[in-house]
Amino acid sequence: MENQEQIIRTDYAELMQKSYIDYAMSVIVSRALPDVRDGLKPVQRRTLYDMHELGIRYDRPYRKCARIVGDTMGKYHPHGDSSIYGALVVLAQEFKNGMTLVDGHGNFGSIEGDGAAAMRYTEARLQKITQEVYLADLDKNVVDFIPNFDATEKEPSVLPVRVPNILVNGAEGIAVGMATSIPPHNFGEVIDGVIAYMKNPDITTKEMLEIIQGPDFPTGGIVVNKDDLEQIYETGNGRIKIRGKVEIEKAKGGRERLVITEIPYTMVGANIGKFLNDVYALVETKKTTDITDISNQSSKEGIRIVLELKKGADAGNLCNMLYKKTRLEDTFGVNMLAVSKGKPETMGLVEIIRQNVNFQYELATRKYRTLLEKALEKREVQEGLIKACDVIDLIIEILRGSKNIKQAKNCLITGETKDIRFKTKASEKAASLLRFTERQATAILEMRLYKLIGLEIEALMKEHEETVKAISFYEDVLGSRASMARVIIKELKAFRKEYAKPRKTLVENAAEAVYEEKKIEEMPVVVLMDRFGYVKTVDEAVYERNKEAADSENRHVIFCMNTDKICIFTNTGQMHLVKVLDMPYGKFRDKGVPIDNLSNYSSSEEDIVFIGGLGNIKEKKLLFVTKNAMIKLVEGGEFDVSKRTTAATKLGEGDSLLSVSPVEETDTMVMQSEKNMFLRIAVSEIPQKKKAALGVRGMKLAAKDTLTDVFVIGENEEKIVKIKDKDIYLNRLHVGSRDTKGVKK
């Protein structure tokens, strides 16, 4: 009988929705977000556990990272070596973590964004804190072990971390539709916060913030919105403002220098280079003239970025400018999202500590339950051996009279003496009264003869006393939550004593950085643009001294104020605005910069049809003419806009802007076509429209004819063009009507 295919009909949208939700939850829970209990993402947890299993302890030699990555990928995390090595590198970077969990040997990157060396070169081992605080007691059944991806190994579902690692080291992760961003905190303060919660579970966020002052970034810096922290830590959401630390040092000649010794945590990596570029830009654009030199003198000892200042410079005002204009003051977005009981949840500070304390009680309960079971087994064996020492002669007689070990063991457990040869009836009777447990009988049969030495028996008795004490202690811890709390607090205090470090980040309420920009002295300048599109500004006097060369070498010469903007109209109907202050100001022979770099104008895609100063344009009317002879007048004030690029006119299909000219009511204009048709009309006859309008037809063009030139003629002005060696006096042409064919010349 042939197998019948079973076709299951389902709604496509429903199937896609289910599949995407499954994928999203997998990313959220199994990849991107940390577990609130150990504060680790799966890749971090698996990497640390693998190092533990490989025996790469803090007191043993380093091992190649390639070995760690390969082992982790093969056993626990089949998602590519780059993600595992990336996680391993971050775990070793002291500028990223409150506490580094991996001790890296070799090039593990730098605070300035340099990447780590390839994993075949670098080596690593666990830190002491990781071994003692994050991975201890894994052999005591404190956490559940689950099958790995192919069910050939077992891995812990969570590590038995004894402190709220999610607060100590923070977390960053982007999942599907959600992201987590938790700042690092001071190890000692976090432990004090946990202890305070254990003593008072009703502690408020405000009270907790007296103990855990706020974030403690490994890069230091200053948190400047202390008053906002209560709301942020209550809800688990908000924005923390952080500033770099700036010191003012005295230099030679009565000068001062600004020295940045600590940076905002958000500046770590490539943003240090961006900060330097931003400072360079402030100097180049003349936003400040007080900085004479910038140097990055940072080293392994720490950050040191030096800004040399002019004599008499206002260092305080300049510092505020850096806060306002660069990333020396930045915001850290807080979103305390973590996986709790298998689901993503946003939690406040106290809730995170509450969940962690519950986890500590769970770890302690499982640990001491396991220890108690082992101690009870140990006591049972010890009591059996002590009892055996009292009747050792009888036991030896049983062993010598037994045919096999099974017979002897049965006698020790049940007193069965059948088929065992005894020397006397008394011995047989005594043997029949023996009632050792099976575990005790096994220990007696495995006992070595040297254990019968007097000192060994004394040691056994002492060990038994210690076991009895331990059992009493374990039972007390398991029977009383207060006793368990004392044990947990004692361990936390020991961790604090050994591993706590002084706080690096200062938390305060700082005044808003106020920067008083120096008023720019307004003065007339001349903007010069050469045929290659390089632009610069010069003083009017410089232009007058070099007038002939300036006019011959430059395509555009514009007189304006230095506070003005330049309007660039292009054949695509766009207008680009450029601040004159953004253009380099200097000597006549300076090269200048490409106009493309200062604006959205692209010389490879657009042609300039008109360029002028906004200050001059906005007081006039502009005449727009397209190649298809569409014309209109537009008020110049319409181009006084804030956008860097705006549509200057609407164009018909296949049309392009030919000319833009400032005009007066008394002017006339002449349109010249490719086929040498000329039409002169009065500007007063041209309708005024908005910049977004299409315009009206100015001249009837023959088939396949287009306009090539437009001439504006002032009152009593003479203008001549040459056609086939013949002079055409445009001012003598008859003034015709708009939308006519014109005359042939």
Q: Report pLDDT digits (tens) over 92-136.
A: 999 999 999 999 999 999 998 889 999 999 999 999 999 999 999
Residue that is last in its domain, among 139, 160, 181: 160
Dihedral angle sign, alpha carbons of residues 589, 595, 596, 599: positive
| pLDDT tens digits, 396-412 | 888 888 888 888 989 99
Give how far Cα 615 sits from Cα of 124, 224, 463, 563, 637, Å.
65, 42, 98, 9, 9
One domain, residues 155 and 44: yes
**Quick one: pLDDT band at residue 1, thresholds 50, 70, 90?**
very low
State in Å, rounded, how far the first CA of the chain is from the last one.
95
Q: How many residues does the chain have?
A: 745
Q: What is the spatial distance between Cα 329 and Cα 325, in angstroms, rounded to a whole number? A: 9
Per the domain annotation, does 3 fall within a domain?
no
pLDDT value at 18 more than 80: no
What are the beta bridge partners of residue 154?
147
- Residue 729 pairs with which residues in a beta bridge? 720
Per-residue model confidence as pLDDT tens digits over 50-64 = 999 999 999 999 999
Q: pLDDT, tens digit, for every residue of 503-532?
A: 999 999 887 777 666 667 788 999 999 988
- The yes-or-no verdict on residue 436 having pLDDT over 80 is yes
Confidence band, pLDDT 50/70/90 cuts, at residue 31: confident
Whether residue 54 is contained in a domain is answered as: yes
pLDDT of residue 516: 65
The answer as to whether 137 is a domain residue is yes
212 inside domain: no
121 is catalytic: yes
Neighbours of 493 (CB within 10 A): 13
Mean pLDDT of 243-252: 90
Q: Identify the domain boundary among 297, 327, 357.
A: 327
Residue 217: predicted pLDDT? 96
Instruction: Choose, from 20, 121, 280, 729, the residue flagged as catalytic.
Output: 121
Angle at 582 between CA 579 and CA 585, to 5 degrees: 115
Please indicate, yes or no, if residue 415 is contained in any of the structural domains: no
Least confident range from 38-47, 65-74, 380-389: namely: 380-389
**Which of 44, 340, 360, 34 is CA-nearest to residue 182?**
34
Q: Does residue 565 sit in helix, strand or coil?
A: strand
pLDDT band at 5; cut points 50, 70, 90:
confident
Tokens of 333: 């977005």
More confident residue, 372 or 4: 372
Last residue of a domain, one of 327, 345, 375: 327
Number of domains forming the structure of the chain? 3
Angle CA(594)–CA(595)–CA(599) in degrees, nearest 5?
130
Is residue 116 a part of any domain in this protein?
A: yes
Q: How far apart are CA 671 and CA 741, in angstroms?
A: 10
126: nearest Cα among 98, 105, 145: 105
pLDDT per residue over 676-709, tens digit each? 999 999 999 999 999 989 999 999 999 889 999 9
- Name residues whose C-beta falls within 8 Å of residue 546's C-beta, 6 or more positions apart in sequence: 588
C-alpha 236/C-alpha 663 separation (Å) is 62
* pLDDT band, very low/low/confident/very high, at 619 (cuts 50, 70, 90): confident
Chain center to CA of 733: 70
Domain encompassing residue 137: 40-160
The CATH number that applies at residue 292 is 3.30.1360.40
- For 169-203, how does the pLDDT look when each residue is reduced to its tens digit (9 = 90+)? 999 988 777 889 999 999 999 999 999 999 999 99
Asked if residue 47 and residue 141 are part of one domain, the reply reads yes
Q: What is the dihedral of CA 567, 568, 570, 575, to 10 degrees?
A: -40
Torsional sign, CA 183, 189, 191, 195: negative
Q: Residue 494's pLDDT band (boundaries 50, 70, 90)?
A: very high
Tell me the HSE value of 61 on the side-chain side, using a 13 A CA sphere. 2
Q: Specify whether the CB–CB gap between 631 and 698 falls below 8 A.
A: yes
The mean pLDDT of the chain is: 90
CATH of the domain at 150: 3.90.199.10
Average pLDDT over every residue of 233-241: 95
pLDDT in tens, 349-379: 999 999 999 999 999 999 999 999 999 999 9
Q: Round to whole Å and give the CA distance between 453 and 561.
A: 108
Mean pLDDT check: name the lowest of 27-31, 309-313, 337-341: 27-31
CB 185 within 8 A of CB 212: yes
Residue 51 parent element (H or E)? helix 42-53
pLDDT value for 84: 95
Q: Are residues 150 and 55 in the same domain?
A: yes
Note whether 154 and 250 are same-domain residues: no
> Angle at CA 12, nearest 5°, toward 9 and 15?
90
Q: Which of 271, 256, 403 is nearest to 329 (CA)?
A: 271
**Do β-strands 123-126 and 102-105 pair in parallel, antiparallel, or remain unpaired?**
antiparallel
